[in-house]
Amino acid sequence: MSVATDRSAARRTREPGTPPRSLVALASAALVAGTGLAIWVLPAETGGWARAGRPPHARVGPPHLTTLPAADRAPGPALPSPVGGRPSGFVTFVDTVRDPLYNLPRAARQSNVRWFTLGHLTAGQHDCTPEWGGGQEQDGNPVAGRLGRLRAAGGDAGLAFGGPSGRELAAACTDPGRLTAAYRRAVGAFGTTYIDFEVRDPGDGETVLRRAGAIAALQREAAARGRPLTVSFTLPVTGTGLSPRDEAMLRSTREAGAEIAAVNLLAPIWRAPTGQADLRPVASAVRAAHPQVARSLGEPTAWHRIALTPVLAGSQDLTAADARKLVAFTTRNGLAWLSTRGAAPTSEVTRLLTAIAR
């Protein structure tokens, strides 16, 4: 009997109710395809994740609580929760106007830095509208536009108001309500949990109280949402410590209800006659500022409330040995964090500075 005849006979002897093999194969293929589709559309694990385009854990609020800039609201996987809280370890400052090509997520991967500070926001053409460098709209900054991808990589960044140029927002915006709203818009737009005030001139008493009142209001609002807002002040320091006006400003700000987490000291690097960096004046300046910070913040001791930021005139201002000394000084005294300003240190020095324990 031929093979064809045998197969025909097998089909004729199939038990009643048994579907043809071709139909079984077709149904199996449909089941596999349907299962694959079901798995594809299932929601991913949500532990530590949030919907794309909105800072994680942010609540839907009034119109001023905006989401991240449009550049970070592209379709795709939701972003993990940012580091949040307050800076620690080594904090990289980024001048977003002078260095518009700075890539936050790439820098985080290459340097192992988790915290950045983005500056500076000052008063724009309209006194109560903060802009980058006083001339670039908040959502038009390419560096800040990468903040979402930085958070996806496990990092975070704060916003720096003030700085060496432009009009400080609290001095330019004399209406307390509009000033508070201006800070609120900036904080909400970038979903940040940390802001810094780099005050080169503390201003008169009214300016100090306007700024303090706005900070206190924002911190109350943030606490009510369950996302505390960390605030620091960046101030210049000399061999005698802080200036009396800066010390008084800190005290008045704290007494007005604002909580100051840290005072970041800008300390210029001194050069010895040999041309080498001399870090002893930096250490002396920090020690001189310590009792001033403690008194201003109403603390018996304030080492953990002090951050140190050496200001470099050139990339060679710090050697590898200097970097190790700075890290040791920061760790030994329990300072809040370490950073640098001015010229970028060499790659070797950067690697040593960023190795500081977080």
How far is it, in rounded angstroms, from Cα 288 to Cα 310?
A: 16
Identity of the amino acid at 21 = R
* Per-residue model confidence as pLDDT tens digits over 284-338: 999 999 999 999 999 999 999 999 999 999 999 999 999 999 999 999 999 999 9
Band the pLDDT of 137: cuts 50, 70, 90.
confident
Q: Is residue 257 part of a domain?
A: yes
This prediction has a pTM of 0.77
Q: What is the CA radius of gyration of the chain?
A: 28
DSSP track, 46-90: -TTB--TTS-TTPPP-STTS--S-GGG--SSSPPBPP--S---SE
Q: Is residue 311 part of a domain?
A: yes
Q: What is the pLDDT of residue 135?
A: 84
Range of the domain at 230: 70-353
- Which of the residue ranges 48-52, 71-75, 89-93, 182-186 would you say has the lowest mean pLDDT? 48-52
- Does the pLDDT value for residue 226 go beyond 70? yes
Q: Is residue 28 part of a domain?
A: no
Q: What is the pLDDT of residue 245?
A: 97
For the chain, percent of residues with pLDDT exceeding 70:
76
Q: What is the pLDDT of residue 202?
A: 86
CA-to-CA dists, residue 326 to 278, 284, 331, angstroms: 11, 13, 9
How far is it, in rounded angstroms, from Cα 139 to Cα 145?
A: 7
Which residues lie closer than 8 Å to 191 by C-beta, 6 or more apart?
54, 55, 56, 58, 67, 68, 82, 147
Q: What is the pLDDT of residue 7?
A: 40
* Per-residue model confidence as pLDDT tens digits over 169-199: 999 999 999 999 999 999 999 999 999 999 9
Tokens of 155: 């990092």
Q: Is residue 13 part of a domain?
A: no
Q: What is the pLDDT of residue 268?
A: 95
Tokens of 213: 């009142």
Which residues lie closer than 8 Å to 245 by C-beta, 6 or more apart?
202
Q: Is residue 237 part of a domain?
A: yes
**Does the CA dihedral 203-205-210-214 come out positive or negative?**
positive
What's 145's domain CATH number?
3.20.20.80
Tokens 């950067």 identify what position? 350
- Does the pLDDT value for residue 44 go beyond 80? no
Q: What is the pLDDT of residue 273?
A: 74
Q: Is residue 20 part of a domain?
A: no
**Does the CA dihedral 185-186-187-190 come out positive or negative?**
positive
**Does the CA dihedral 189-194-198-201 come out positive or negative?**
positive
- Does the pLDDT value for residue 62 go beyond 80? no
Of 325 and 14, the structure prediction assigns the larger pLDDT to 325
Burial 248-272 (b: 16+ CB within 10 A, else e): ebbbbbbebebebbbbbbbbbbbee
Q: What is the pLDDT of residue 257?
A: 98
How far is it, in rounded angstroms, from Cα 33 to Cα 300?
A: 68
Q: What is the pLDDT of residue 140?
A: 83
Q: Is residue 16 part of a domain?
A: no
Q: Is residue 180 part of a domain?
A: yes
Q: What is the pLDDT of residue 25?
A: 44
Tokens of 289: 């500022």
Number of domains, the chain:
1
* Per-residue model confidence as pLDDT tens digits over 102-129: 999 999 999 889 999 999 999 998 899 9
Q: What is the pLDDT of residue 86?
A: 86
Closest CA to 309 of 141, 108, 111, 163: 163
- Which of the residue ranges 148-152, 270-274, 322-326, 337-341 would you say has the lowest mean pLDDT? 270-274
Q: What is the pLDDT of residue 358?
A: 66
Residues pairing with 91 in the sheet: 115, 339
